[in-house]
Amino acid sequence: MMNPAWGAWLLLGLIWGTNFVFIKWSTEAVTPMQVALVRVIAGFVTVAAYALVTKQLRLAHLRHSLHFIVMACLAAALYFYGFAQGTALLESGLAGAVSASIPLFSLIAAVLLLPEERLTTNRVAGLLVGLVGVVLIAKPFSGVPGGSYLLGVLWMILGSFSLGVSFVYARKFVTPLNLPPAALTTYQLGFAALILLVLTDKSGLPSIRNDPQSLWVLVAGLGFLGTGLAYVLYYYIIGQLGAVRASALTYVPPVVALFLGALFLGERIILLDYLATVLIFAGVLIVNKRQKKRN
């Protein structure tokens, strides 16, 4: 029989890919900042409930609140806001394709911020190939009116780079704390919710109650399912399959996003966009290819 963890792996890939369609629908009803706010609050409620049931929360953890706040900014508030802004300006499928570059920006952040991380031949080649793919999707010389298309890609890059920096920060300051992952995410999303509550213009947000479909997509689809349940599944997969196999999930959402965007939103994805997506994937694969040791 198939290991249930692989079923969870596939389900999480589908959920993450569907998130881009949910974001696109949600930003037609409320602002991107409001999308990020509701997503974080709903995700926090879900993960906090899971952390309470599994008894992972400790009052003593709050002495590390400074690290939680930094992670809240990098891996939640700015990350979710950047993706919401980018997806609002792009086709959801292309936004998903750009998100495949997260490992590339994570490497850039690691090389810039961690002295022990060095650029190898494979890493340089992979970065160049992947970034060419990002540029092809951005179409900087396409003459899109108002530059909204390019701006959307830049917002996606900002969200990707923010998440990449969070990996580096977590590796240096958070991982050594040995905190339960569900507890860490509860604190991270909790502080992110507080930050976004202060920064978000909430005018017009209550009117979404008059649009049941948008409300369901934003709160249940993107919040409880796409953020809260997604984190719970991710922890389960890491525990069952290990971090390396879990990290391969980054290859699934962009493909799902491209397919669902075309199927449900009628998005037109041209051949160049598919080629660019392949280049981004290729870049990530080359970056993660182990360098052969010389005798």
Mean pLDDT by 10 residues, the chain (295 residues): 76 89 92 96 94 94 96 94 94 85 81 80 85 76 61 90 87 88 92 97 90 91 92 79 65 81 79 82 78 49
pLDDT of residue 128: 87
pLDDT of residue 294: 45
pLDDT of residue 96: 87
Do residues 168 and 109 lie in contact, with contact meaning Cβ atoms separated by under 8 Å?
Answer: yes
pLDDT of residue 295: 42
Distances (CA, A) of 180 to 43, 61, 176: 17, 10, 12
The rounded distance, in Å, linking the Cα atoms of 167 and 120 is 20
| DSSP string computed for 65-134 | HHHHHHHHIIIIIHHHHHHHHHHHHS-HHHHHHHHTTHHHHHHHHHHHH-TT----HHHHHHHHHHHHHH
- Residue that has been written with the tokens 């890493």 in this structure: 123
